[in-house]
Structure 1
Amino acid sequence: MRLTLKSLFASCISAALTMPAWAQAEQQEVIVVSASRMGEPLDQIAQSISVLDRSALNLQNADHISEALALVPGVDLHRGSGAEHLTAIRSPILTGGAGAGSFLYLQNGVALRSAGFANVNGLFDTHYDIAERIEVVRGPSGAVYGANAIHGVINVITPDASAEDSVMVSGDSQNRYKMQAVTTHSSGAHGFVIAASGITEAGYRQNAGLDQQKFTLRHQYDGAGVEIDTILSGYNLNQETAGFIFGRDALNDRDLRRENEFEDAYRDAKAINLQSTIGFDVSDKVRAQITPYYRWNEMEFLQHFLPSQAVEKNAHQSIGLQSTFSYEDGAVSILSGLDLELTEGELSEVQSIPRVFSYTQGTHYDYEVEAFSASAFVEGEYQFTDKTKLKAAVRVDNTAYKYDNQTDSGIVGRFLRLDDRDDDFVTVSPKLSLTHAFSEDVTGYVNYSHGARPPQTADLYRLQIRQADNPAEPEEIDAFELGMRADIHEHLRVEAVAYHMDKSNFFFRDADGFNVSNGKTRHQGIELDTQFRLSSSLSLSAAVSYARHTYRFDRDTGNEFESIQFGDDIDTAPRLSANVRGQWQVNDSIGLALEWVSLDEYYTDAANAHSYEGHNVLNLRTNFALNSNVDLGVSIRNLTDELYAERADYAFGEDRYMPGETRTFGVSLRFKN
Structure 2
Amino acid sequence: MQKPLKLPLYSALLTLNLSLSAYAATSSPDDSSAENDALEVIVVTATGNEETLFNASVTIETVSAQDSEFDRATWIGETVNRMPGVYFSKLRGPVDAPSIRLPVSFDNVYLYLQDNVPLQSPISFNHAAFSYSGALTSPGGMEILKGPGTAIHGSDALAAVVNVKSKQPVYEPETLVSYRFGENNLQDIRLDTSGALNDSNAARLAVSYQSDDGWRDTTAWDRTQIIARHLYEDNGWEINNILSYTKFDSQMAGALTPEALQNDPKSDGLADAVNRAEARDKAEYFRLSSEIQKALSQHITLQITPYIRTIDSQYMHTWEPATTPITKAVTDTLGMLSRLYLNWNESSSTILGLDAELTDFARTTEQTRTTQVVWGTTYPQGLHLDYDVNYTSLAPYIQHTQSLSEKLSLVLGLRYEHSDYDYTNHLSSADFSAENPSPFLLLEERKDNFSELLPKASLSYAISERHNVYLRYAKGFRIPDDSDLYILSSSQAEFSLEPETIQSYELGYRGWLGEGISLNAAVYRMIAKGGIVTGIATPAGNISVNGGEEQYQGIELGLQAQLSDELMLTLAGATTDNSVKRRFSDTQSVLDGKTLINSPDPIVNVRLQYQPKVLSGLSAELEIQHTGSWFLDEANTRKTDAENLLNLRMEYAFTEALLFDIKVQNLLDNEYLLTAEAPVWAPEGRFRPGSPRTFSAGLSYTF
1:81 deviates by: 1.5
- On the 8 A contact 1:54/1:131 being kept in 2, the answer is yes
The one-letter code sitting in structure 2 at the alignment partner of 1:453 is R
- On the 8 A contact 1:551/1:564 being kept in 2, the answer is no
Question: Could you tell me which residue of structure 2 aligns to residue 632 of structure 1?
Answer: 660
* Distance in 1, Cα, partners of 2:164 & 2:115: 6
Cα 1:24–1:196 shift into 2, 3 Å: farther
User: Does 2:311 correspond to 1:297?
Assistant: yes
Question: Could you tell me which residue of structure 2 aligns to residue 343 of structure 1?
Answer: 359
User: Does 2:397 correspond to 1:374?
Assistant: no
Question: Could you tell me which residue of structure 1 aligns to residue 505 of structure 2?
Answer: 480
Which one of 183, 193, 204 corresponds to residue 173 of structure 1?
183
Aligned length: 656
Question: Could you tell me which residue of structure 2 aligns to residue 416 of structure 1?
Answer: 441
* Distance in 1, Cα, partners of 2:46 & 2:667: 37
Question: Could you tell me which residue of structure 1 aligns to residue 372 of structure 2?
Answer: 355
1:490 deviates by: 2.5
* Distance in 1, Cα, partners of 2:125 & 2:389: 13
Cα 1:579–1:238 shift into 2, 3 Å: same
Question: Could you tell me which residue of structure 2 aligns to residue 544 of structure 1?
Answer: 573
- On the 8 A contact 2:470/2:509 being kept in 1, the answer is yes
- On the 8 A contact 2:194/2:202 being kept in 1, the answer is yes
Which one of 592, 605, 608 corresponds to residue 620 of structure 2?
592
1:246 deviates by: 1.1
Question: Could you tell me which residue of structure 1 aligns to residue 97 of structure 2?
Answer: 86
Question: Could you tell me which residue of structure 1 aligns to residue 167 of structure 2?
Answer: 159
* Distance in 2, Cα, partners of 1:605 & 1:3: 24
Task: State the secondary structure of the residue aligned to 1:463.
Answer: coil
1:91 deviates by: 0.2
* Distance in 2, Cα, partners of 1:553 & 1:56: 42
1:611 deviates by: 1.7
Moved more, 649-658 or 340-349: 649-658
- On the 8 A contact 2:147/2:504 being kept in 1, the answer is yes
* Distance in 2, Cα, partners of 1:654 & 1:126: 36
* Distance in 2, Cα, partners of 1:350 & 1:614: 41
Which one of 207, 212, 221 corresponds to residue 201 of structure 1?
212
Question: Could you tell me which residue of structure 2 aligns to residue 334 of structure 1?
Answer: 350
Cα 1:14–1:337 shift into 2, 3 Å: closer
1:62 deviates by: 1.3
* Distance in 2, Cα, partners of 1:229 & 1:94: 33
Cα 1:347–1:109 shift into 2, 3 Å: same
- On the 8 A contact 1:169/1:669 being kept in 2, the answer is yes
Which one of 134, 140, 152 corresponds to residue 148 of structure 2?
140
The one-letter code sitting in structure 2 at the alignment partner of 1:669 is L
* Distance in 2, Cα, partners of 1:605 & 1:528: 29
- On the 8 A contact 1:245/1:257 being kept in 2, the answer is no
Q: Which has the higher contact order (CA 8 A, sep 6+)?
A: 1
Cα 1:137–1:591 shift into 2, 3 Å: same
Cα 1:435–1:522 shift into 2, 3 Å: same
Task: State the secondary structure of the residue aligned to 1:145.
Answer: coil
Task: State the secondary structure of the residue aligned to 2:453.
Answer: strand
- On the 8 A contact 2:245/2:287 being kept in 1, the answer is yes
- On the 8 A contact 2:536/2:545 being kept in 1, the answer is no
The one-letter code sitting in structure 2 at the alignment partner of 1:524 is Q
Task: State the secondary structure of the residue aligned to 1:25.
Answer: helix
Cα 1:229–1:359 shift into 2, 3 Å: farther
Q: Deviations over 1:534-593 (max 9, x none)?
A: 01111111110101110111469xxxxxx7521100000122101110111123211110
1:619 deviates by: 0.2
Cα 1:345–1:542 shift into 2, 3 Å: same
- On the 8 A contact 1:203/1:209 being kept in 2, the answer is yes
Question: Could you tell me which residue of structure 1 aligns to residue 302 of structure 2?
Answer: 288
1:257 deviates by: 3.4
* Distance in 2, Cα, partners of 1:58 & 1:622: 12
* Distance in 1, Cα, partners of 2:155 & 2:341: 22
Which one of 457, 482, 487 corresponds to residue 482 of structure 2?
457
Q: Which ranges of structure 2 fall in alignment gaps of 5 or more residues? A: 1-5, 24-29
List aligned pairs for 1:216-615, cutoff 5 A. Answer: 216-247=227-258, 249-253=259-263, 255-261=264-270, 263-264=276-277, 265-307=279-321, 308-330=323-345, 331-353=347-369, 354-357=371-374, 358=377, 360-361=379-380, 362-408=382-428, 412=437, 414-468=439-493, 471-509=496-534, 515-554=544-583, 564-587=590-613, 588-615=616-643
* TM-score normalised by L of structure 1: 0.93
Cα 1:495–1:583 shift into 2, 3 Å: same
Identity of aligned residues (%): 28
* Distance in 2, Cα, partners of 1:4 & 1:59: 32
Cα 1:26–1:542 shift into 2, 3 Å: closer
The one-letter code sitting in structure 2 at the alignment partner of 1:381 is T
1:3 deviates by: 11
List aligned pairs for 1:106-117, cutoff 5 A. Answer: 106-117=113-124
* Distance in 1, Cα, partners of 2:592 & 2:420: 34
Task: State the secondary structure of the residue aligned to 1:165.
Answer: strand
* Distance in 1, Cα, partners of 2:594 & 2:166: 41
Q: Which ranges of structure 1 fall in alignment gaps of 5 or more residues? A: 557-562
Question: Could you tell me which residue of structure 1 aligns to residue 695 of structure 2?
Answer: 665
Question: Could you tell me which residue of structure 2 aligns to residue 120 of structure 1?
Answer: 127
1:77 deviates by: 1.4
The one-letter code sitting in structure 1 at the alignment partner of 2:228 is L
Cα 1:511–1:62 shift into 2, 3 Å: farther
Task: State the secondary structure of the residue aligned to 1:612.
Answer: coil
* Distance in 2, Cα, partners of 1:443 & 1:3: 23
Cα 1:369–1:142 shift into 2, 3 Å: farther
* Distance in 2, Cα, partners of 1:405 & 1:413: 13
- On the 8 A contact 1:409/1:418 being kept in 2, the answer is no
- On the 8 A contact 1:3/1:576 being kept in 2, the answer is no
* TM-score normalised by L of structure 2: 0.89
* Distance in 1, Cα, partners of 2:213 & 2:372: 33
Q: Deviations over 1:501-546 (max 9, x none)?
A: 0001111435997524214210000100110110111111111010
* Distance in 2, Cα, partners of 1:289 & 1:643: 50
